[in-house]
Structure 1
Amino acid sequence: MFGSIDCMHWKWKNYPTAWQCMYTGHVHEPTIILEAIASKDLWIWHAFFGLSGSLNDINVLDRSHLFEDLAEGRGPEVRYTINGHEYNMGYYLADGIYPSWPTFVKTISKPLACIILHNMIIEDERELHMEEEHFDTDVAIPTVTPNRSRSSTLREFIQVHKQIRDKQAHFQLQNDLVEHLWQMHGGDMN
């Protein structure tokens, strides 16, 4: 897993009145969306900010540059097997990982500063929570080596893009992960 991905709506206090409808969505007030990815230790390593609050998470993801590297063949080379099925593409955990993002500020005045402060706090407190980490030491952690070469043809780009959006592969991976976790933890999962 590359990280946990989610979107957060930042209230836009001093929005231009003419843009109110375009930036108002399910929150019922003008917002700007922040797409962020955090690693297991909550370090935010990707942020895409500025789209209108009327968009949903899928629309934001479609406009984000997050999958460009993967579609152009420049993403990390990843191979793993779960329940006998082989996979060659990493994944992001989404929906419900962060039930409520911490509210750093009440307006969108300094989102980048908030991300930097957040990461500084995570870095500072990382050592305090190290003893709480429970890693399965028997499982080998795969090495991810970025492949920086560009795809040579449009055909390859389209093929990888289709692979990224393959719903059947998504559901297979989802089922394999659930089965894998069930086998590891059984009835201990809550």
Structure 2
Amino acid sequence: MCIGMVGSIDCTLNDINVLDRSPVFDDIFQGQAPMLEYVVNGHMYKLAYYLTDGIYPKLSTFIQSISHPEGPKAELFARMQEATRKDVERAFGVLQARFAIVKNPALSLEKAKIGKIMGACIILHSMIVENERDGYIRYDISEFEDGDITRSSRVETDRPTNIANMLGILEDVHDKRLHLRLKNDLIENIWNKFGD
């Protein structure tokens, strides 16, 4: 059992290490992450979520795959989530192959420096890819959208930082009911878009 600012939460020593090393949580807890509002399956959410594997705790900002899916909706969700995670892992592998600093352990660096290094590597990689292309193609993003899209999300970057705001964010992040509702809403959303 871990004791947090909000009270007791269930987690393991591995969970503490994951959270301790994550600049994402620094930004979320300090109120520096962009403020989001988006709707999934008719429910409004205000924290971004990250696709993870089973080692991460069940927080409202982590959505794990379903290890033993039962039924077509759960199977489709697991397939889509795993495919997206693999895309991210491949992209990270490309960065590791191109930049030695990404491949080597960075435990001795400060989290802020790691974030800046990763950002710089991503920008450099994008510049290299663009330079190596035979001509620059401008894509019309509307061809990738499904039908008549109404924008149901909003992002703000100015968020007041105060202790009450941070406590509210901590409560939302550790809310297991919110985690479960988001996961179920994502399963339904994927089924409605890509299911039978």
Q: TM-score, normalised by structure 1?
A: 0.52
Q: Compare the two structures and name the one with the higher strand fraction.
A: 1
The correspondence for 1:136, drawn from 113, 127, 146, is: 146
Question: Is this contact kept in 1: 2:99–2:121, CA < 8 A?
Answer: no
The match for 1:104 is 97
Pair 1:66 & 2:77 matched: no
Give me the identity figure in percent: 37
Pair 1:75 & 2:85 matched: no
The match for 1:119 is 126
Question: Is this contact kept in 1: 2:27–2:33, CA < 8 A?
Answer: yes
Q: Aligned equivalents of 1:122 and 1:171: distance in 2?
A: 39
Q: Aligned equivalents of 1:169 and 1:65: distance in 2?
A: 22
Deviation at 1:114?
Answer: 4.5
The higher relative CO (CA closer than 8 Å, separation ≥ 6) is in 2
- Number of residue equivalences: 131
Q: How far does the alpha carbon of each residue in 1:149-182 deviate from its partner, in whole angstroms, 9 at most, with x for none?
A: 212x3x4422311211322212211111111111
Equivalent position amino acid for 2:145 in 1: F
Q: Compare the two structures and name the one with the higher helix fraction.
A: 2
Task: Flag structure 1 segments of 5+ consecutive residues without an equivalent.
Answer: 1-54
Question: Is this contact kept in 2: 1:104–1:114, CA < 8 A?
Answer: no
Q: TM-score, normalised by structure 2?
A: 0.50
Cα 1:128/1:160, change in 2 over 3 Å: same
- Give 1:1-190 correspondences, 5 Å limit: 59-95=17-53, 96=82, 97=85, 98-100=88-90, 101-102=93-94, 103-105=96-98, 107-108=100-101, 112=117, 114-124=121-131, 128=137, 130=139, 134-141=144-151, 142-151=153-162, 153=163, 155-187=164-196
